[in-house]
């Protein structure tokens, strides 16, 4: 899942098969927004992921893992995002 829009439609869209439920969805959306901002400002995918991971993102993703049927895949997919 290389694009953030794919991640968004899979995990953050209410009613999607693998949608994150509860307030964790908003926390992951915030992490995705921070990643998108890094990519839009010209950061490489590796640098953008590192900057976002330096924040609270890892904990946000860990808490959201149990709120989607595709928990481990969601975390892996987030780490693979390389474009907006």
8: which 2 tokens?
């968004």
- What's the first-to-final CA gap in the chain, in angstroms? 11
- Where in the chain are the domains? 4-80
pLDDT the model gives residue 56: 67
pLDDT of residue 23: 93
pTM: 0.87
Tens-digit pLDDT profile for the chain (84 aa)? 578 999 999 999 999 999 999 999 999 999 999 999 999 999 998 998 888 888 766 678 888 999 999 988 998 998 899 888
How many C-beta atoms surround the C-beta of residue 66 within 10 A? 11
The three-state secondary structure class of 68 is coil
pLDDT at 17: 93
Give the pLDDT of residue 9: 94
């Amino acid at each position: 899942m290389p694009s953030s829009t794919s991640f968004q439609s899979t995990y953050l869209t209410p009613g999607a098969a693998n949608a994150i439920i509860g307030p964790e969805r908003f926390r992951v959306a915030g992490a995705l927004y921070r990643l998108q901002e890094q990519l839009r400002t010209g950061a490489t995918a590796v640098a953008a992921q590192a900057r976002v991971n330096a924040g609270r993102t890892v904990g946000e993703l860990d808490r959201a893992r149990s709120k989607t049927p595709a928990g481990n895949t969601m975390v892996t997919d987030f780490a693979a995002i390389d474009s907006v």
